[in-house]
């Protein structure tokens, strides 16, 4: 899979890597000289008509926004972005006048935003870090209520994202990709805002914590189904759409000093803790939460990015508050120790990540003194304990770092609002940001440190032991920086070819030999892979067991392919095909959420010329074969470094990386292979360039409607075998469409063995499709196969011209499903690793335990793991597949630039090709849930990852089968809870990096929880449980003292978030598909929730909370206990070497008894015995 198709890997909740997929090579591609080409005289701009943007900034024909570039007297470069139609300014003002309370009003009461159960599936990916990345499908959505905890993503979808994030593999077949890691990329450290930790309703934020299909649970909080009358929509649009700003400081972790590693990252945290003008430590986050906003920040090698969004009425005040962090940050001494603990917890959460470990090991190979060798994360040791011993004043050094590097002339700012025109935005920016200091010093430049990996330590074979069960081979080249070539994008071209998966590709041949499952090739957009001193070109291959044994042969095939490319040279046909695909996508690109847009743009302003700010990371501008050849010819075997990652390396690695503790060894390349590669070795005739892509769209006409347009999807085909919902797009008017199908079968949930066989079916189906469907995939026809709880989910999107062909291809391969014994053996072995890698994560184990308790007849991941360990046969698989296809209920949604007749043909094709019988009776796509008794229960288990200090405490309170109105009230409660929860448990008590309340919708049964991720090296889980109870007691008093005005402000904020319009078609589709997938069909759910919110008063909130607290509450605490000195049951010798977890060790839970500290809780030591005595709620849907 090509890196240009994937987002940056992130170990923590980070939101600044959603770059356009077409340009990893260009992501850091503008030199300081190039950026200076967009100079404007400070404080001035060319005389233009009022509210007219800069016409020399190239934008998509589909982009309605106006842009204006200015430079302030202090050197700050700014891009102003206005969504306002000049003819609608008066309507905008009118809408503004009708908004809620005064923007200057400030209340003490803050709030949080809860999410449904499904949100947590993806939230888990933010928190721990095994190769976490942000995920795709356009823009995020926000909370959609009333859906069951796990729908299609609950089995493996969330796990896959964790391993593969937004890679193209993940987009196409989520389950398959998770089987092996095929991606690496520098993690960006970030200050995780309260909103992010708790799944804030901000669309961009929730994008990080919910999966694409699960986004149905979140979308509706953002979108309102307004009247079909266009004038009503236009008059409300400006008031409903959030405004956003992002600032990029052209300085990052490369500027850390040797004696204070992690200082840049720490400063990114500290500047948010109050300012001289607004000294309240959590004041900004509290302000945003009251007004439907979110914020975050992240630190890279040479850049640090800050961003926020908020309801547009409060945008100017928010801008002023936010700007003060860069004008006069408070950074009081008292806050340092507390925030060091947050940074340290972030580091502890990152330690079990194999991608982080690989990168720290790679960075350690750089020349002594090069900043690549820095420990960018920082922890308590480097920021607190060592400075204390060395008499270093961390506080003073923080302020020095801020004064030296947070200078206006290093910064770029992007500001976007739909309600303000360009002139207004320019006035605001000049008023607010002019006082930002400029120290007049030259910007840090590391270009004098070239070739950091031209050392004896490079060009070797490194063996390392991973945390997870995974075999991978990384082949890396360190190239000169490619920043000046962003218009030709040489690495983009090479990435396209190396990452190809069609016939003649590296991966195609490796799959035929059963040596590899996945391949990632190219360069990430992060500073780790691409900066002013070098660029990395990396090929990472997920190996099978057999591939591990033949890793030298695998490397040889890679070198043969690269040599073939070198021999034939750059091909204009290939370049123009890539160029055409990217041009099509850019021309018809959909609008993104404002916070995402400004986040990308402020970084682009550091990298590209003014005219290319919007296009520099997306388009291929000019074919320069000599530039491509120069990079290509550097990819020689004798310049490559090999890293072999495998559990089989355990016991063979005597070295240990300093910061993450990775066990590794280093050796010379075997002489036989080094001699072979030094000679003119033969090419492989099975390796060749991809053929011309027949899936590239050429017809972009908008279809004429063949039935009356409707506001919501309508059922256009209904039979005993299935039904189809359809909606013609009349809003976004782009030549794209979405196809979603759910093939439901009761067979799946009959046993854990069947669940395993279903997983294998989906993985092998994806494996079989990988080669024939890859051409469609790179032509922007994206597909994904998901093994859902109740059936196979097929998701396809892209230009509608060739989309039905891709859908038919998938159905054909399902109808003609085949599996060889070799493929079956390879997949089952990898699936065993997949299950194992999930179980050793504390957050995944906590969820598995909680749902095993709550959901009747649910098979846990551990039960699936045991069934897989017992060894299913290929005969059992083929029998299962036959039975699965013989009896189904198929439900679909087609939305976008399709006619209804075209859509109907999709379901007809499924029925014709699969020839299945209808189900004998209606099958509910949800579990029944146990009713907890009115007393506290505790299920305390030992973490399955030996030596991992991370623990998780989740305290859940069950409410019951409730109405839509009660759901809205609970949502409001959790929204109120979020900010105080963060302030109490993280800021003041420093219990952990991730603390959050969450609304739980578990198969239609409501509840809420408070979760803390902590470390056993710092806290005992029972103490954390007690602190959560203490917080809830304080919170009860807080809401009792809440003023009526503050309550109304919070209600208004939630309503505004629910009223915000979709930014692109995918959001609307996700929301509608959520209703179809859960068989609830309440497409106007948002309207009902808004009506409910308008009916509430403060007394409703207080009464509801009190009813769910105290001795009679239905409380369930789940503790996953890490290893450390604060946990007597898991205490171990800190000096003992790391040991590998075995397959057998993770196949059973170890229950721990509570101490007298939490004696009031009844322990659960046998889950099945406990749940067998409980009553069950009836099946319930939140639709009334």
Q: Per-residue pLDDT tens for 893-942?
A: 999 999 999 999 999 999 999 999 999 998 899 999 999 999 999 999 99
Bigger pLDDT: 557 or 522?
A: 557
302 Cα distance to chain centroid: 22
pLDDT of res. 525:
74
- Checking if the pLDDT of 785 tops 60, the result is yes
Instruction: Report the distance separating Cα 23 and Cα 4, nearest Å.
Output: 5
Q: Who contacts 200 (Cβ-Cβ below 8 Å, separation ≥6)?
A: 112, 113, 193, 194, 206, 289, 294, 978
Q: Which of 1108, 1087, 1069 is closest to 138 using CA atoms? A: 1069
Q: Are residues 743 and 863 in the same domain?
A: yes
Alpha helices in 654-751 (DSSP H): 671-678
Name 463's bridge partners: 644, 665
Inter-residue contact 370 to 257 (CB < 8 Å)? no
What CATH number does residue 963 fall under?
Answer: 3.30.830.10
Q: Are residues 1034 and 1050 in the same domain?
A: no
Q: Are residues 1008 and 1059 in the same domain?
A: no
End-to-end CA distance of the chain: 45
1037 Cα distance to chain centroid: 36
In a domain, 882, yes or no: yes
- Checking if the pLDDT of 1052 tops 50, the result is yes
Q: Are residues 1079 and 1159 in the same domain?
A: no
Alpha helices in 457-612 (DSSP H): 490-498, 506-512, 545-549, 551-568, 572-587, 594-607
Options 196, 268, 782, 1075, the catalytic residue: 268
Average pLDDT, integer, range 614-622: 96
DSSP letter assigned to residue 549: H
pLDDT tens, position by position, 1114-1166: 999 999 999 999 998 776 654 555 566 777 788 899 999 999 999 999 999 99
- Scanning the structure block, which residue is given the tokens 């603990």? 341
Inter-residue contact 402 to 329 (CB < 8 Å)? yes
In a domain, 194, yes or no: no
Q: How large is the C-alpha radius of gyration of the chain?
A: 28
- Say if residue 40 is exposed, middle or buried (CB neighbours under 10 Å; 0-12, 13-18, 19+): middle
> Which pair of tokens denotes residue 811?
């159905």
Instruction: Report the distance separating Cα 299 and Cα 375, nearest Å.
Output: 13
Q: Are residues 1030 and 1161 in the same domain?
A: yes
Q: Who contacts 448 (Cβ-Cβ below 8 Å, separation ≥6)?
A: none
pLDDT of res. 86:
42
- Checking if the pLDDT of 56 tops 50, the result is yes
- Checking if the pLDDT of 1009 tops 80, the result is yes
Instruction: Report the distance separating Cα 589 and Cα 587, nearest Å.
Output: 6
85 pLDDT band, cuts 50/70/90, is low
Q: Which of 703, 677, 932, 670 is closest to 803 using CA atoms? A: 703
pLDDT tens, position by position, 307-337: 999 999 999 999 999 999 999 999 999 899 8
pLDDT of res. 947:
84
182 pLDDT band, cuts 50/70/90, is very low
Q: Which of 73, 77, 65, 5 is closest to 42 using CA atoms? A: 73
pLDDT of res. 50:
78
pLDDT tens, position by position, 870-879: 999 999 999 9
226 Cα distance to chain centroid: 30
In a domain, 1139, yes or no: yes
pLDDT tens, position by position, 201-254: 222 222 222 233 233 333 332 232 323 333 433 434 444 579 999 999 999 999
CB atoms within 10 A of CB 33: 9
Q: Which of 817, 90, 207, 184 is closest to 536 using CA atoms? A: 184
In a domain, 270, yes or no: no
pLDDT of res. 1136:
56
Q: Are residues 907 and 939 in the same domain?
A: no
For residue 225, the SS3 value is: coil
Average pLDDT, integer, range 1016-1034: 96
268 catalytically annotated: yes
> Which pair of tokens denotes residue 1039?
């809401």
Domain end call among 678, 699, 717: 678
Which domain range does residue 461 map to?
448-589+617-678
In a domain, 888, yes or no: yes
The C-alpha angle with vertex 744 and arms to 742 and 746, in degrees rounded to 5, equals 160
> Which pair of tokens denotes residue 1045?
């005005």
- Checking if the pLDDT of 457 tops 80, the result is yes
pLDDT of res. 319:
98
pLDDT tens, position by position, 1073-1128: 999 999 999 999 999 999 999 999 999 999 999 999 877 899 999 999 999 999 98
pLDDT of res. 241:
78
Name 298's bridge partners: 190, 305
Q: Are residues 760 and 886 in the same domain?
A: yes
Q: Are residues 1052 and 1144 in the same domain?
A: no
Q: Are residues 739 and 814 in the same domain?
A: yes
For residue 471, the SS3 value is: strand
Instruction: Report the distance separating Cα 17 and Cα 6, nearest Å.
Output: 10
Instruction: Report the distance separating Cα 4 and Cα 495, nearest Å.
Output: 7
In a domain, 456, yes or no: yes
Instruction: Report the distance separating Cα 409 and Cα 398, nearest Å.
Output: 20
639 pLDDT band, cuts 50/70/90, is very high
3-state helix, strand, coil in the chain (%, to 5): 40, 15, 40
In a domain, 607, yes or no: no
Percent of the chain with pLDDT over 90: 76
36 pLDDT band, cuts 50/70/90, is very low
Instruction: Report the distance separating Cα 453 and Cα 361, nearest Å.
Output: 13
Q: Which of 526, 480, 497, 524 is closest to 627 using CA atoms? A: 480
DSSP letter assigned to residue 309: E
> Which pair of tokens denotes residue 541?
């291959």
HSE (side-chain half, CA atoms, 13 Å) at 364: 18
List b or e across 143-165, with b for residues whose CB sees 16 or more CB atoms inside 10 angstroms: bbbbbbbbbbbbbbbbbbbbbbb
- Checking if the pLDDT of 48 tops 90, the result is no
Average pLDDT, integer, range 491-518: 96
Instruction: Report the distance separating Cα 794 and Cα 384, nearest Å.
Output: 50
**Strand residues in 221-327 grouped as ranges (E):** 243-249, 294-299, 304-310
Run of H or E including 246: strand 243-249
> Which pair of tokens denotes residue 936?
């506290």
Q: Give the length of the chain.
A: 1184
User: Is the pTM here over 0.85, yes or no?
Assistant: no
> Which pair of tokens denotes residue 825?
């053996």
The sign of the dihedral angle between the CA atoms of 365, 368, 372, 375 is: positive
pLDDT of res. 228:
33
Q: Who contacts 882 (Cβ-Cβ below 8 Å, separation ≥6)?
A: none
- Checking if the pLDDT of 162 tops 50, the result is no
Q: Are residues 967 and 831 in the same domain?
A: no
Average pLDDT, integer, range 535-556: 97
Inter-residue contact 85 to 65 (CB < 8 Å)? no
In a domain, 817, yes or no: yes
Instruction: Report the distance separating Cα 59 and Cα 65, nearest Å.
Output: 9
Q: Are residues 755 and 826 in the same domain?
A: yes
Inter-residue contact 534 to 371 (CB < 8 Å)? no
130 pLDDT band, cuts 50/70/90, is very low
Inter-residue contact 300 to 253 (CB < 8 Å)? yes
What is the average pLDDT value for the chain, to the nearest integer?
84
> Which pair of tokens denotes residue 1014?
């902590």
Q: Which of 780, 669, 673 is closest to 734 using CA atoms? A: 780
Q: Are residues 1036 and 1057 in the same domain?
A: no
- Scanning the structure block, which residue is given the tokens 């994030």? 165
Total structural domains within the chain:
3
HSE (side-chain half, CA atoms, 13 Å) at 59: 18
pLDDT tens, position by position, 381-412: 999 999 999 999 999 999 999 999 999 999 99
């Amino acid at each position: 899979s090509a890196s240009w198709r994937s987002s940056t890997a992130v170990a923590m909740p980070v939101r600044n890597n959603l770059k356009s997929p077409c340009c990893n090579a260009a992501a850091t591609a503008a030199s300081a000289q190039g950026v200076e080409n967009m100079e404007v005289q400070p404080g001035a701009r060319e005389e233009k008509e009022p509210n007219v943007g800069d016409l020399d900034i190239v934008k998509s024909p589909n982009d309605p926004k106006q842009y204006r570039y200015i430079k302030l007297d202090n050197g700050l470069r700014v891009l102003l972005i206005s969504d306002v139609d000049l003819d609608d300014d008066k309507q905008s003002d009118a809408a503004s006048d009708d908004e809620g309370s005064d923007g200057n009003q400030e209340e003490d009461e803050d709030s949080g935003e809860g999410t449904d159960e499904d949100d947590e599936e993806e939230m888990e990916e933010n928190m721990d870090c095994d190769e976490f990345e942000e995920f795709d499908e356009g823009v995020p959505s926000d909370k959609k209520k009333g859906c069951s905890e796990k729908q299609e993503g609950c089995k493996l979808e969330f796990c896959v994202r964790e391993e593969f994030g937004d890679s193209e593999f993940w987009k196409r077949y989520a389950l398959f990709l998770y089987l092996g890691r095929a991606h690496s990329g520098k993690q960006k450290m970030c200050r995780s805002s309260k909103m992010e930790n708790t799944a804030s309703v901000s669309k961009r934020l929730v994008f990080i914590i919910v999966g694409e299909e699960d986004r149905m649970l979140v979308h509706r909080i953002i979108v309102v189904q307004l009247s079909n009358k266009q004038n009503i929509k236009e008059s409300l649009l400006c008031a409903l759409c959030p405004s956003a700003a992002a600032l990029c400081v052209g300085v990052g972790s490369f500027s850390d000093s040797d004696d204070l590693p992690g200082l840049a990252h720490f400063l990114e945290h500290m500047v948010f803790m109050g300012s001289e003008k607004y000294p309240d430590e959590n004041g900004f986050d509290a302000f945003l939460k009251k007004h439907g906003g979110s914020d975050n920040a992240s630190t890279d090698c040479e850049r640090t990015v800050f961003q926020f969004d908020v309801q547009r009425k409060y945008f100017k005040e928010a801008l002023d508050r936010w700007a003060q962090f860069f004008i006069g940050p408070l950074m009081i001494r008292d806050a340092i120790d507390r925030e060091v603990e947050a940074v340290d917890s972030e580091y502890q959460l990152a330690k079990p990540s194999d991608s982080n470990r690989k990168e720290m090991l790679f960075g350690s190979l750089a020349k002594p003194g090069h900043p690549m060798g820095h420990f960018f994360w920082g922890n308590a040791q480097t920021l607190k304990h060592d400075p204390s011993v060395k008499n270093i004043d961390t506080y003073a050094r923080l302020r020095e770092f801020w004064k030296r590097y947070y200078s206006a002339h290093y910064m770029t700012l992007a500001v976007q609002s739909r309600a303000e025109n360009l002139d207004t935005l320019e006035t605001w920016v000049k008023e607010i940001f002019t006082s930002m200091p400029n120290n007049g010093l030259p910007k840090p430049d590391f270009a004098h440190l070239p070739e950091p990996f031209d050392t004896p330590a490079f060009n070797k074979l490194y063996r390392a032991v991973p945390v997870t069960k995974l075999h991978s081979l990384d082949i890396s080249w360190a190239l000169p920086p490619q920043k000046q070539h962003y218009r030709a994008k040489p690495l983009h071209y090479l990435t396209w070819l190396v990452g190809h998966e069609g016939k003649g590709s590296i991966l195609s041949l490796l799959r035929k030999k059963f040596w590899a499952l996945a391949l990632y090739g190219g360069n990430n957009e992060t500073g780790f892979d691409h900066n002013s001193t070098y660029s990395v070109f990396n090929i990472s291959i997920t190996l099978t067991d057999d591939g591990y044994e033949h890793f030298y042969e695998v490397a040889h095939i890679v070198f043969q392919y690269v040599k073939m490319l070198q021999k034939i040279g750059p091909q204009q046909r290939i370049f123009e095909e890539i160029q055409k695909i990217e041009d099509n996508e850019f021309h018809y690109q959909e609008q993104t959420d404002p916070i995402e847009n400004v986040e990308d743009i402020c970084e682009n302003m550091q990298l590209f010329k003014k005219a290319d700010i919007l296009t520099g990371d997306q388009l291929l501008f000019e074919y320069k074969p000599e530039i491509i050849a120069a990079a290509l010819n550097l990819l020689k075997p004798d310049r490559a470094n090999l890293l072999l990652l495998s559990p089989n390396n355990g016991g063979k690695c005597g070295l240990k990386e300093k910061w993450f503790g990775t066990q590794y060894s280093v050796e010379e390349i075997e002489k036989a292979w080094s001699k072979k590669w030094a000679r003119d070795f033969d090419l492989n005739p099975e390796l060749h360039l991809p053929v011309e892509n027949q899936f590239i769209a050429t017809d972009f006409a908008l279809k004429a409607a063949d039935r009356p347009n409707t506001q919501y999807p309508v059922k256009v085909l209904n039979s005993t075998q299935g039904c189809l919902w359809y909606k013609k797009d009349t809003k976004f008017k782009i030549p794209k469409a979405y196809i979603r199908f759910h093939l439901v079968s009761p067979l799946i949930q009959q046993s854990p063995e069947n669940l395993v066989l279903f997983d294998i079916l989906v993985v092998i189906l994806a494996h079989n499709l990988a080669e024939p469907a890859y051409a469609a995939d790179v032509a922007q026809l994206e597909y994904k196969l998901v093994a859902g709880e109740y059936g196979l989910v097929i998701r396809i999107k892209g230009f509608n011209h060739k989309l039905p062909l891709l859908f038919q291809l998938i159905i054909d391969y399902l109808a003609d499903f085949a599996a060889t014994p070799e493929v079956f053996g390879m997949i089952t072995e990898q699936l065993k690793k997949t299950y194992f890698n999930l179980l050793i994560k504390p957050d995944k184990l906590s969820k598995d335990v909680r749902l095993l308790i709550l959901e009747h007849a649910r098979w846990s991941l551990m039960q699936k793991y045991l069934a897989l360990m017992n060894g299913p046969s290929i005969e059992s698989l083929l029998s299962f597949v036959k039975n699965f296809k013989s009896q189904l209920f198929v439900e679909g949604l087609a939305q976008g630039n399709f006619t209804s007749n075209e859509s109907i043909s999709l379901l007809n094709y499924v029925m014709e090709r699969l020839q299945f019988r209808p189900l004998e009776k209606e099958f509910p796509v949800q579990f029944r849930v146990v009713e907890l008794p009115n007393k506290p229960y505790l299920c305390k288990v030992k973490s399955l990852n030996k030596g991992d200090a991370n623990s998780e405490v989740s305290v859940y309170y069950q409410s019951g089968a409730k109405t839509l109105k009660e759901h809205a009230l609970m949502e409001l409660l959790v929204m109120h809870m979020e900010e105080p929860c963060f302030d109490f448990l993280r800021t003041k008590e420093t219990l952990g990096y991730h603390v959050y309340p969450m609304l739980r919708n578990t198969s239609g049964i409501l509840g809420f929880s408070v979760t803390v991720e902590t470390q056993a090296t710092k806290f005992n889980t029972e103490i954390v449980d007690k602190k959560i109870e203490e917080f809830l007691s304080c919170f009860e008093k807080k809401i009792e003292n809440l003023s009526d005005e503050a309550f109304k402000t919070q209600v208004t904020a939630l309503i505004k978030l629910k009223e915000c319009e979709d930014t692109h078609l995918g959001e609307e589709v996700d929301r509608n598909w959520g209703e179809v997938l859960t068989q609830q069909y309440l497409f106007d759910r948002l309207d009902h929730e808004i009506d409910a919110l308008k009916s509430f008063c403060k007394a409703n909130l207080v009464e509801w909370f009190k009813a769910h607290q105290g001795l009679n509450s239905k409380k369930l605490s789940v503790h996953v206990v890490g290893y450390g000195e604060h946990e007597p049951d898991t205490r171990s010798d800190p000096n003992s070497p790391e040991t590998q977890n075995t397959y057998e060790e993770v196949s059973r839970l170890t229950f721990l008894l509570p101490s007298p500290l939490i004696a009031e809780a009844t322990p659960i030591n046998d889950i099945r015995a406990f749940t067998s005595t409980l009553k069950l709620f009836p099946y319930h849907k939140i639709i009334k």
